[in-house]
Amino acid sequence: MLDINKIRHNPEEIKRALLKRMDSVDFTELLEWDAQRRNLIVLNEEKKAKRNKVSDDIPGLKKQGVDVQGLISEMKQLSNEIKENDNILRDIEAKIHNFLSALPNIPADDVLPGGKENNQVIREWGSKREFGFTPKHHVDLATDLGIVDYERGAKIGGYGFWVYTGIGALMEWALLNYFITEHLKDGYTFMLPPHILTYQCGYTAGQFPKFVDDVFKVEASEERENMQFILPTAETALINFHRGEILKEEELPKKYFAYTPCYRKEAGSHRAEERGMIRGHQFNKVEMFQYTTPENSEIALEELVEKAEKLVRGLGLHHRVTKLAAKDCSASMGKTYDIEVWIPSMNDYKEVSSASNAYDYQARRGNIRFRRTNTSKPEFVHTLNASGLATSRIFPAILEQYQQEDGSVIVPEVLRKWVGRDILKREE
């Protein structure tokens, strides 16, 4: 949610910034509604002030024996006018709210306009491995090793699901353990939130109403506000943890991380080259989240990117960091870095972490504020999130980047204590 005051005072500036990610922006109607709203408020508050004044006087006048019948019927008329104006006001405010809710965040100054084609690679780590043999696809590797069962996954869950079996499940769990251990070392607080959330959670995160059809709904409630859905990312839960609260400045930054599976419909987004684990309906992810003061959010974003990168580096996987152009950022985000790992079979880099600063956009939607001193006015916090990490791209990257000619796969050093072996071999 953007600040209507900002739009009122700098419509051209906001418009210019939004055009980096939107095809057209027109505030004409919005500003008209805004003016109508404020005029109506002044008018109606004057009427209310009069009503309050007269109503306060009535008991005294009655005591003095003055006939107040005239006043009372006058106030009755006034009350009707007020009620009418309040109805008009409610309609205008609904229009303003709907308009503002649909606007995405303002891209940061250093974010380039346009879509994917304008994403910038900031840095790379490692390099593409030269295979002395024909490398295999992770689906074939995993199937041959017997660590992921795609066929039975589809049989029991439908298309887009798989089953980690035996050592595969151990590998998956090892990754999660590795992430969790690192975040704990850095002083982040471990959270295990509900996986089923209310509509309001999706709204605060900035995912609803636009993407309400991309999630799995639990209750087919007629009223949208009463629906519940299975979370598409732990971010949706963590942004809502402090919804409606006023935090103390000394509590900030709040640093959380959560493990949850993520559930996404991904309707219409399946592509042949993304077979396997690259885009499923359910994947495991550890998500980092921070609530900060406005002045500290830029630094926090760098910290989150660095943490995510460190995890990928720790696994020894070739990857790069990209700064997303405006249209490629999620609507709630003002700035996003993606960490992308190399997938040899695709000869492409796929996102394993997305680190974003929402600035006060989500905080406004969720009314999450903080106070600097006991007496100062509450201000909106800034919120940031970053995957740390999603396993569903890391798992294939490990299989493919660490595969050997005989189809075995070397286990990254940091995972060995949990997997209990150095190498994954077929005969196991």
The residues of the shown chain that bind RNA, judged by CB under 7 A, are 4-5, 38, 41-42, 45-46, 48-49, 51-56, 58-59, 62, 72, 75-76, 79, 83, 90, 369, 374-375, 377-378
Measured from the CB of residue 46, what is the shortest distance to RNA in angstroms?
7
Q: 193 vs 352, 394, 407, CA distance in Å? A: 21, 23, 38
Query: Strand, helix or coil at 197?
Result: strand
**Count of residues for the chain?**
428
Measured from the CB of residue 96, what is the shortest distance to RNA in angstroms?
10
Q: What residues have CB less than 8 Å from 193, skipping those under 6 apart?
A: 231, 234, 237, 238, 241, 258, 260
Nearer to RNA, 53 or 185 (CB): 53
Q: Which helix (H) or strand (E) holds 313?
A: helix 297-315
Measured from the CB of residue 169, what is the shortest distance to RNA in angstroms?
22
Q: Tokens for 55?
A: 């109503």
d(CA 371, CA 246): 7
As beta bridge partners, residue 322 has 121, 338
Measured from the CB of residue 192, what is the shortest distance to RNA in angstroms?
16
Nearer to RNA, 38 or 313 (CB): 38
Measured from the CB of residue 266, what is the shortest distance to RNA in angstroms?
30
| Tokens 């609904």 belong to residue | 94
Instruction: Return the sign of the alpha-carbon dihedral for residues 71, 73, 79, 82.
Output: negative
Nearer to RNA, 4 or 25 (CB): 4
Q: Tokens for 56?
A: 């306060």
Nearer to RNA, 83 or 270 (CB): 83
Nearer to RNA, 72 or 88 (CB): 72
Half-sphere exposure of 337 (CA within 13 A, CB side): 25
Measured from the CB of residue 361, what is the shortest distance to RNA in angstroms?
15
d(CA 333, CA 423): 40
Measured from the CB of residue 106, what is the shortest distance to RNA in angstroms?
18
Nearer to RNA, 229 or 337 (CB): 229
Q: Tokens for 167?
A: 């050592």
Nearer to RNA, 33 or 283 (CB): 33
Q: Tokens for 144?
A: 């041959």
Pair 203, 226: CB distance under 8 Å: no
DSSP string, 241-271: TTTT-EEEGGGPSEEEEEEEEEE---TT---
Nearer to RNA, 210 or 371 (CB): 371
Measured from the CB of residue 103, what is the shortest distance to RNA in angstroms?
17
